[in-house]
Structure 1
Amino acid sequence: MDVREVAQAPRRRWALVALLALLGALAGAGWSLASPDRYRTTTTLIFSLQGGSSVNDLAQGGTYTRDLLASYSRLVDLPVVLSPVVEQLDLGVTPTALARQVDVTTPSDTSLLQIAVTDGSPERAVAVADAVAAQLTTTVAGLSPDEVGGETVSVDVTVVEPAQVPDAPTAPPLPVLAAAGAVAGLVLGVALLVLLALLVTPVADRSTARRLTGAPVLAEVPRGGRVGRHPAPTRSEPRAPRAEAVRVLRTNLLALQREHDVRTVVVTSPTAGGGSTTTALALAAAAAELSQRVLLVDADLRSPDAARRLGLEGTPGLADVVRGRVGLEEAVQAWGSPGLDVLPAGTPHDHPAELLGAPRTAEVLAHLRQTYDLVVLDAPALLAVTDAAALAARCDGALLVVDARSSRQRLVVDAAERLGLAGASLLGVVLGRVTGTGGPRGATDERAGAADVAVP
């Protein structure tokens, strides 16, 4: 999915974004109404060193005081200061709990110390701030050194800005919290839609399919025609839109066959249930109508289904031929008229990936390529197991069957990458369950793109 499509996602689902913004505003308003008012007040103290008489003494005293200020500020949060305050005001809390209501700051390059207190009562906030300031003054007087550099000195603490009773709570007012909630809901809605667009958006149309895979769309099967009652729609319903879509696919594949000598084609999909078996059956039957020698191979050794759909025996088949149990002539069965040869999956094998990757499989495929004009192999889903990618690497290429309504874009990209990593050529895409195509596109629509596909 490109940047333009990602940016359009919130526009297509603006109602959801608006709903989340409204919910955010309501949540902010609710938080404001439910939260108790908090009041904050601040008192400011200045620390000075008394004792020196010269200018140099005063300068050194100011530096010495600022050095001590960092230590004095740490005292504010400690029980040595807060315990007497709790007892004096009868606050009914622990010094640790009170420390969470007190904030201390020391402005840089000054001898000032600011004590801020937050409380549910404005009057109590002032009382606590004054009491903390007074107790800190007492504590500092008891801890400060009496002599510095041989001279008698003292640290004086003076309140330069007493605490004032706050006239309004410190929490943001309701409109501010509501606006902040609306913005948060808006951001969440946009982020959610962008995430959905990246992860779960279906392919939907031919331009998207081509951009995701880098391969031409060889045919579009209209919605409602992906699963047929008959495995060969060009024979059972020759005028139906899905039959015409199969003819378009056949025409484009034959163009590849003439231009690049494509004879062995793996038909697969990103995930199970994508319609690859239906497509393989229909394509093989349609190609056989042109008096070509066509072989349909059920190469899904894990869940074979092609032979069952055609009403043929499932054994012997490909697995038996590769293992040397039977000859190819014994395993191949004829179906329909004009004739279509079918090689079933054969006897189940415990390790189908290893069997398909065996050198004997390559020999069988090479022999089939020399024997038939077109060999169509129905393979398992690409992202489920490695069988399809391994087979495609040994054939002239693969057709990727993509469901326009349910195949996720990320999975289609992963499937195309899986073929590329295996060294297989992606000949094209068959886009299924397409809505609003106005009927299958003509064969010439994709032939120029098909001719540009790199094939081995």
Structure 2
Amino acid sequence: MQLEDVLRVFQRSWLLIAGLTILGLLAAGAALAVTTPQYQSTSRLFVSTQARDSASDLLQGSTYTQSRMISYSHLVVQPVVLDPVISSLGLALTSDQLAGHVTANVITDSLILEVTVSEASPQQAADIANAVAAQLVSTITTQIEDPGDGTKPLIAVSIIANASPAANPTTPVSWLYLVVGGVGGLLLAIGLAFLISGFDNRVRSVDDVKRLTDLPILGHFPRQAKVRDRPLLFADDMMSQRAESFRALRTNLQYFDLAVNHQVLLFTSSIPGEGKTTTSLNLAIALAQTGKKVLYIECDLRRPKSAKYLNVEGAVGLSDVLVSRAELADVLQPGALPSLAILPAGALPPNPSELLGSEQFETLVTAMRHEYDYLILDAPPLLAVTDAAILSRVSDGVIVVVGTAQVKKQQLETSFEILSQVDARVLGIAANFLPRRGVDAYSYYTYGYGSVMPDRAGAEAEAALHLGAQPGQVAHEQPHSRSHRRLPALVELDTIAEATPTAEPAGDDVWKRVRTPSRR
């Protein structure tokens, strides 16, 4: 995993990371509030050897004292020392309970013993420390080290520092609690973020797409909050970042492979909701703006949406033409530009795959090649039905729309496999819903399109009006003079159909009269 991948994980999970870090700090604050402060007081004792006549006796006594220091430290918490302290101070504790508040420590390379007591009351901590030190001196000199013959004991113990009440509590340490709580919450959040990232198999960025395929990214389209309410490009937003993205897709397709004429372009996706219809419609608009004659064919005979987006009549259309219930010239609808024509899906048939794979549809596409510069086919998603795979036979190239944060990596891989199995010529990817900010954002979108100068925007809107577009309508660059409703009827379709449109039954039998082309 590279640094960029780590930054992506942080950027995607920043709310989780910030939330758990704050939660850790709050937990630390709660722990501080409920924790009783503890005060420590320490008294110190010095252990020495009684004076002897010779140097050898002094050396022997010093060695003996050093060996006894650890034993004296353990003696501090024994009942023989603590029981008298409890009695003298009137503590409501047992010797075992009091032992949990008392510690003894021997200072390294010295004969000094420290007795430390922790209590909620600073005065009580000092009183107990002093009482334990005094009782330890008495116990050592009168019981442990008493020779029993009336002579002085070899060991002498004296108090060199009495305990005093502490001014500040020893525990809890506020900053330490906060550091532990904050760092603990942060580490937990980072761990969860990487765990979630490991289980997240959705395509999130252009880099995710590039890891799955070597196909070129022909178009990059940023995520916009109002795209569902306003899916198409209009005259008043032709200088927008999104409009420039479709012009870039138009240019990429026009110069993709100059040796091949990509006249019939098929748009599809892996699953619904990736934006294939809006992408194909806006590309048709972008191509028509250059004066090219464009026919948009709604090939999604299951869930058509183009008629709704374009605000045109969609009750009759492609399906009716394929079964000879209507003439092509009668169902073609003019687009927002003179050089753009729309062929809606029409009535929803019970056998969409058979219609799209029929000889009638292939003949229709072949005839339209002579009438239009571009044919844009909007096909259903690949994983839902086989329609897109069937339509790839009559297209010059397939563009797969990938909706980031919508499609899963396995779904996209399966879509590529389906297209590969039918030998479809996939031109590339149209990456949709790309984030506008953060490490997943495509760098192109941050250059020059954050805002448009008012005078330039006004000039563009005025130019669009001179070209015939009203505010809220699609702008065009070169008007086309030919009318779509004057197209001649397709005689070939009349000869293929087994019955005339007036003789067709009203039921589902009309859809069964379409022949499927034989395999070549």
TM-score, normalised on structure 2?
Answer: 0.47
CA contact (8 A) 1:267 1:276 kept: yes
* Other-structure match for 1:378: 378
Output the CA distance in 1 between the equivalents of 2:199 and 2:351.
32
The CA deviation at 1:204 is 2.3
1:365 aligns with 2:401: no
1:412 aligns with 2:437: no
Output the CA distance in 2 between the equivalents of 1:245 and 1:10.
24
Inter-CA distance 261–242: structure 2 relative to 1 (3 Å threshold): same
Q: How does 1:62-141 map to 2 (within 5 A)?
A: none
CA contact (8 A) 2:285 2:337 kept: no
Cα deviations across residues 8-55 of structure 1 (Å, max 9, x unaligned)? 799868999xx9xxxxxxxxxxxxxxxxxxxxxxxxxxxxxxxxxxxx
How large is the Cα RMSD of the aligned pairs?
3.2
The CA deviation at 1:275 is 0.5
* Other-structure match for 2:403: 403
Output the CA distance in 2 between the equivalents of 1:422 and 1:344.
26
Inter-CA distance 434–235: structure 2 relative to 1 (3 Å threshold): same
* Other-structure match for 1:336: 336
1:264 aligns with 2:264: yes
Inter-CA distance 11–325: structure 2 relative to 1 (3 Å threshold): closer
CA contact (8 A) 2:273 2:403 kept: no
- The residue type equivalent to 2:409 in the other structure is Q
Cα deviations across residues 231-252 of structure 1 (Å, max 9, x unaligned)? 4326340111111111111111
Cα deviations across residues 112-151 of structure 1 (Å, max 9, x unaligned)? xxxxxxxxxxxxxxxxxxxxxxxxxxxxxxxxxxxxxxxx
CA contact (8 A) 2:218 2:252 kept: yes
* Other-structure match for 1:316: 316
The CA deviation at 1:337 is 2.5
* Other-structure match for 2:291: 291
CA contact (8 A) 2:317 2:343 kept: yes
Counterpart secondary structure, 1:383: coil
Output the CA distance in 2 between the equivalents of 1:430 and 1:199.
25
Q: How does 1:114-193 map to 2 (within 5 A)?
A: none
In structure 1, list runs of 5 or more residues that go unmatched: 20-185, 443-456
* Other-structure match for 1:423: 423
Inter-CA distance 248–365: structure 2 relative to 1 (3 Å threshold): same
Inter-CA distance 197–230: structure 2 relative to 1 (3 Å threshold): closer
Inter-CA distance 440–191: structure 2 relative to 1 (3 Å threshold): closer
TM-score, normalised on structure 1?
Answer: 0.53
CA contact (8 A) 1:316 1:345 kept: yes
CA contact (8 A) 1:398 1:428 kept: yes
Counterpart secondary structure, 1:261: coil
- Greater shift, 220-229 or 328-337, is seen at 220-229
Inter-CA distance 341–441: structure 2 relative to 1 (3 Å threshold): farther
* Other-structure match for 2:217: 217
CA contact (8 A) 1:392 1:424 kept: yes
Output the CA distance in 1 between the equivalents of 2:226 and 2:427.
20
Counterpart secondary structure, 1:393: coil
CA contact (8 A) 2:220 2:434 kept: yes
Output the CA distance in 2 between the equivalents of 1:390 and 1:225.
34
The CA deviation at 1:309 is 1.1
In structure 2, list runs of 5 or more residues that go unmatched: 21-186, 448-520
1:273 aligns with 2:273: yes
CA contact (8 A) 1:203 1:404 kept: yes
- The residue type equivalent to 1:394 in the other structure is V
- The residue type equivalent to 1:250 in the other structure is R
CA contact (8 A) 2:9 2:194 kept: no
- The residue type equivalent to 1:359 in the other structure is E
Cα deviations across residues 186-240 of structure 1 (Å, max 9, x unaligned)? 9xx999967x667642222223313313211111111216825444326340111
Counterpart secondary structure, 1:419: helix
Output the CA distance in 1 between the equivalents of 2:320 and 2:425.
27
- The residue type equivalent to 1:396 in the other structure is D
Inter-CA distance 234–243: structure 2 relative to 1 (3 Å threshold): farther
The CA deviation at 1:254 is 1.2
CA contact (8 A) 2:296 2:377 kept: yes
Inter-CA distance 201–210: structure 2 relative to 1 (3 Å threshold): same
Output the CA distance in 2 between the equivalents of 1:416 and 1:272.
16
Corresponding pairs, count? 269
Output the CA distance in 2 between the equivalents of 1:10 and 1:256.
31
The CA deviation at 1:402 is 0.9
CA contact (8 A) 1:225 1:433 kept: no
CA contact (8 A) 2:232 2:309 kept: no
Counterpart secondary structure, 2:256: helix
- The residue type equivalent to 1:261 in the other structure is N
Output the CA distance in 2 between the equivalents of 1:264 and 1:257.
14
The CA deviation at 1:336 is 1.2
Inter-CA distance 348–8: structure 2 relative to 1 (3 Å threshold): same
CA contact (8 A) 2:9 2:193 kept: no
Counterpart secondary structure, 1:296: strand
Cα deviations across residues 395-445 of structure 1 (Å, max 9, x unaligned)? 112111111222211111111111111221211111112123344499xxx
Output the CA distance in 2 between the equivalents of 1:324 and 1:346.
12
Output the CA distance in 1 between the equivalents of 2:254 and 2:288.
12
* Other-structure match for 1:35: none
- Greater shift, 263-272 or 367-376, is seen at 367-376
Cα deviations across residues 146-185 of structure 1 (Å, max 9, x unaligned)? xxxxxxxxxxxxxxxxxxxxxxxxxxxxxxxxxxxxxxxx
- Greater shift, 382-391 or 257-266, is seen at 257-266
Output the CA distance in 1 between the equivalents of 2:201 and 2:234.
32
